[in-house]
Amino acid sequence: MGNDKYIISLEDISYEELGKLFGPNEKYLDVIREHYKVDITFRDSMLTVLSDDSIKSKRIEAVVKYMLEAERTGINVQEREVMYACTLADKNCLDRLARLHKEVINKTSSGKFIYPKTLGQSYLYKCMREKDIVFASGVAGTGKTYLAVMYAISLLKKNEVEKIILTRPAVEAGENLGFLPGDLKEKVDPYLTPLYDALHDALGVETVEKLLEKEVIEIAPLAYMRGRTLNNAFIILDEAQNSTRSQMKMFLTRMGFHSKVVVTGDITQIDLIKKKDSGLLSAKQILHSIEDIAFVELTSADVVRNPLVQKIIDCYENFESE
């Protein structure tokens, strides 16, 4: 074939580590093969890359070493992480990915550590720590709401805030809650499932229910924020692309002393009749000059769901740009 052999020695790792490193039936190794379009064989603790491109071979070695180091530090490396590692290796910044694992935001009720999985998520976490108001916009699956909830709970545990308030526009293109059956909680709950999922993941169902009863955690539609002043709180506005400009102004001016605000949304999923009325869409244009407000844009590269989701998003973005 004319390809050179590049040997990566894995002699210093245990049999158990080898079993985890490349996944069932070498599916993680298949990700590397597919990304770099090369033949890779693994035999007798030796990884052989068949390629006449030495730079590509060295990038593969860097990815494999990252995977091994991540596994040794307790990180559950899967297909998504391997794909992202390959992408960063191509940009010569794979070393930055390893540092993300040290940025522990919180841990789930089952003891799993939560940390940024992409550089975009790491920047969002940095902004949430340093700024009082953060706008995080990005496509579905980028983890923006999940990370915001996890960070809010970490501050609650450390008594740095007294309560967490989660809100969102309750009905697409409006908030006609009176026509829905049940009390306030029953009316709003169907729209707040992603927020509940993150809370349950972090604290467990029973703890969440207790904190809701004590109003330490409060979940309410955006319309119910009017007229309030929220001190010592972490306030998250989710699905903000479906808030109007006037609603966004109302929401942001609810902020009291010693509070933090995170606004999340996806401008590609605006359900308002007039998209230009979106409060999220206009916020950066109106508020960009305020130093204590950060704007974070997450992209398909930050998607942490099934790798197929990233490909779907890319295809839609390419189609819409054309």
**Among the listed residues 117, 32, 30, 147, the one whose alpha carbon sits nearest the alpha carbon of residue 303:** 117
Task: Please give the Cα distance from 107 to 119 (Å, whole number).
Answer: 19
Residue position matching structure tokens 């935001």: 105
Q: What are 27-43's pLDDT values in tens digits?
A: 899 999 999 999 998 88
Backbone angles phi, psi at 81, to 5 degrees: -65, -40
186 confidence band (pLDDT: 50, 70, 90)? low
| Burial class for 159, CB neighbours closer than 10 Å (0-12, 13-18, 19+) | exposed
> pLDDT per residue over 52-109, tens digit each?
888 999 999 999 999 988 888 877 788 888 988 998 999 998 988 888 878 889 988 8
- Distance (Å, whole) CA 14 – CA 95: 24
Q: Which letter does DSSP use for residue 166 in this model?
A: E
Q: How confident is the model at residue 173 (pLDDT cuts 50, 70, 90)?
A: very low
CB atoms within 10 A of CB 154: 18
**Is 141 a residue whose pLDDT tops 90?**
no
The CA-based angle 114-190-181, given to 5 degrees, is 155
pTM as predicted: 0.83
Separation of CA 281 from chain center: 20
Mean pLDDT, range 235-251, rounded to an integer: 92
Q: Roughly what angle, to the nearest 10 degrees, separates helices 54-72 and 27-36? A: 150
Q: What mean pLDDT, rounded, does the chain reach?
A: 86
Residue 275, classified by CB atoms within 10 Å of its CB into exposed (0-12), middle (13-18) or buried (19+), is exposed
Domains and CATH numbers, the chain: 5-100 (3.30.1370.10), 106-321 (3.40.50.300)
